[in-house]
Homo-oligomer: A and B are copies of this chain.
């Protein structure tokens, strides 16, 4: 996504082949890859790219707010390039498929003061779970 690359250059990033490849891999809708998956796909395009660089680049992208870290399952973190439109996730309990969803309503308003324990609440993250069409029919 040259959009992203443009923004990164604007932030003073050196444009290396490795960073370009990671940005390319993280492109599309409903993309939620683990670091290892990103690495595997990056290696397909640039065989000598190292695991450390993938982790570094992902970490930098997260710090810059260009990519989100998502932990829908309890295994590896997943990296989500859809950072500019707030959304939640719908996860298949069997196969792990993940879709971006946009529920209506304001869940922050649904947490009464008596349930806030004096916290300053700023954000809520929702994970819907169920079965995808494939897994439901099997």
Interface residues of A in 98-133 (CB under 8 A from B): 99, 101-105, 107-108, 110-112, 115-133
From B99, B118, B129, B136, A124 is in contact (CB under 8 Å) with: B129
The answer to whether A119 touches B99 (Cβ under 8 A) is yes
**A51 touches B (CB below 8 Å):** no
Q: For the complex, would chain A's binding face be called helix, strand, loop or mixed by DSSP majority?
A: mixed
Q: Which of A17-25, A36-44, A69-77 contacts B (4 or more CB under 8 A)?
A: A69-77
**Docked complex Cα distance between A71 and B125 (Å):** 12
Contact residue among B74, B103, B115, B123 (Cβ-Cβ distance under 8 Å from A102): B115
Report the minimal beta-carbon distance from A43 to chain B, rounded to whole angstroms: 24
> CB distance B125 to A129 under 8 Å?
yes
Interface residues of A (CB under 8 A from B): 69, 71, 74, 77, 90, 92-93, 99, 101-105, 107-108, 110-112, 115-133, 136
